[in-house]
Amino acid sequence: MADSSPPDVTYDADAKRFEVRLPGIDDVAFLEVDPRDRLWTFTHTEVPASFRGRGVGSALVHGALQRVRQLGAQVRPVCPFVIDYLRQNPGERDVVHPRFRSGLE
């Protein structure tokens, strides 16, 4: 990113997804979720080609994990991008429900 600060990650409760928008670009990167009770399933991530190479996907997952952590909930990662992120960032696995951590080793 030009200013090297991470993009803002917002949550759209109606669409059930976390989003990142960048100034001057109409596209939206998003992470679809199924927020049930205390277990949020992360189902699908889309990062437009116009965002690639800027760390938007990783920032999106990191921001979503932070939000779920703040809510005191846990994550069930289903999306391959999220699983890959968690494999590369073991320090973020604390928010993954213990039942789903073994697939991240």
pLDDT over 70 at 80, yes or no: yes
The mean predicted confidence, pLDDT, of the chain is 93
pTM: 0.92
**Could you tell me the residue ranges of all domains in the chain?**
10-96
Amino acid 1: pLDDT: 43
pLDDT grade, residue 37 (50/70/90)? confident
Q: How far apart are CA 71 and CA 105, in angstroms?
A: 25
Tell me which residue has tokens 């759209």.
Answer: 12
Mean pLDDT of 24-43: 95
Q: Which superfamily does CATH assign the domain made up of 10-96 to? A: Gcn5-related N-acetyltransferase (GNAT) (3.40.630.30)
